[in-house]
Amino acid sequence: MLIVFANFINAKEDIKTKPVALSDLTANCSAEIKTEFYKSLFFVNGRLASMRIEAAEKCLARESPEVLGFNLGKSPDFKWGYKGYNCKCNKHNRLGCRKEEGWICNLVDCSGDCDYSEKRRYSFPGKYIGAQDIYAMVPENIADEFVGGLVLDKGRVEKITVGRELTKHIDGEKLKQIIAILTCRDWRVIKKVKEMSDYLAELREKSVKVPDFSDTDMRKSLGKKYDELFGDADLKYGQYDDETLKKFWNVYKAIISGSPGKKYFSEARKVFMNFRKRNAYERMEGGEFKIFLKEFFSLCVSAGDFSLARALKKEYPDALENEFVPSAP
């Protein structure tokens, strides 16, 4: 049996925040209701965005709203919120919570662009996946085992278990694709980001130890390494989880501090805008988004994009109250 782990991040011992398998949450549900519930699950960016709750609500475990990410810290009595909506794409290529009885939708995670068609509301190469597609590929009992084995914490997929029977019906590449979407982790990109981060650390250490290693040498080395790893690749930031976006952010911030070129500033802007689209201002704890916001504001000023800097001050007046935007030359 192959076990694939996603990120376990600061999991607490409290039962309300501990990662739990879907099979445990549905232990008191009948086989019919359990399967219907599993088939309805819809994931966006590695998080549960909507599900059909009507039949399963009465048999799900008490901690389910918190584990599945639909309590949102607003209901100590574990009442569901945002009922009567389903996460769908519309004809304008936008993903959002649309009215549909019997469903429940997470307004925070159900957002962004999508590939729309009359037959499918998302596509496998993208950042969305519905569990019903897995059921369409394999026998129901095998799909039940796979989906039931998903371990979630506050709506995020933290662990996936893949049994041998599943691999008999889904080839390796397709399975990797499904896992990447469910966990929102592109392992090839993550490997490259880590390599880039390690290289930045090496260069910083070298700049301290080698007096002749100039800022110009640093810029050239960083640019060469980045082009080697990523070239002109069209990176799909919307498909990466928060932790990967943070790594990208640190890479671009380090490169721009040495050479504020348009190419790197453009990529840093895309990363920031993805955080913004994910309502990171509300979701991130400890003022982390405010730090990104101030850093991006400084990058805008250093890159000469004063109009964007002014727009940020207008959108986040409290966080950027003391920040200054120079007058255009």
- Rounded to an integer, what distance in angstroms lies between the CA atom of residue 261 and that of residue 202? 22
Closest Cα to residue 280, out of 319, 311, 308, 235? 319
Q: CA-to-CA distance for 167 and 106, rounded, in angstroms?
A: 31
Predicted confidence (pLDDT) per residue in 140-179, tens digit? 999 999 999 999 988 889 889 998 899 999 988 888 888 8
Does the reported pTM lie above 0.75?
no
Q: Looking at residues 44-62, what average pLDDT do you find?
A: 90
**What pLDDT, on a 0 to 100 scale, did the predictor assign at position 73?**
45
Residue 149 CB partners (closer than 8 Å, separation 6+): 21, 22, 23, 160, 161, 163
Predicted pLDDT of residue 115:
65
Q: Say what the pLDDT of residue 328 is.
A: 63
How far apart are alpha carbons 10 and 123 in whole angstroms? 32
263 CB-near residues (< 8 Å, 6+ apart)? none
Q: Which residues pair with 105 in a beta bridge?
A: 50
**What is the token pair recorded at 136?**
């369409």
Tens digit of pLDDT for each residue in 96-148?
899 999 999 988 788 777 764 555 554 444 678 999 999 999 999 999 999 99
Average pLDDT over residues 274-292: 70
Tens of pLDDT, residues 57-92? 899 998 888 889 886 444 444 456 678 999 988 877
Would you state the pLDDT for residue 41?
A: 96
Residue reference for tokens 């399967």: 35
Q: Is the pLDDT of residue 19 over 50?
A: yes
130/228 Cα distance (integer angstroms): 35
What φ, ψ does residue 87 adopt, rounded to 5°?
Answer: -85, 115
| pLDDT value at residue 3 | 52
- 11 pLDDT band, cuts 50/70/90, is very low
Average pLDDT over residues 23-40: 96
First to last CA, the chain: 64
Higher pLDDT, 125 or 21: 21
Structure tokens, 40: 């309805």
Contact 292, 249 (CB under 8 A): yes
SS (H, E, C) 214-233: CHHHHHHHHHHHHHHHCCCC
Per-residue pLDDT tens for 266-277? 999 999 988 887
At CB < 8 A and 24+ separation, what contacts does 61-67 make? Answer: 61/20, 61/24, 61/25, 61/26, 61/27, 61/28, 63/15, 63/16, 63/20, 63/25, 64/25, 66/16, 66/17, 66/154, 67/16, 67/19, 67/20, 67/25, 67/152, 67/153, 67/154, 67/155
Asked if the model's pLDDT at residue 290 lies above 70, the reply is: yes
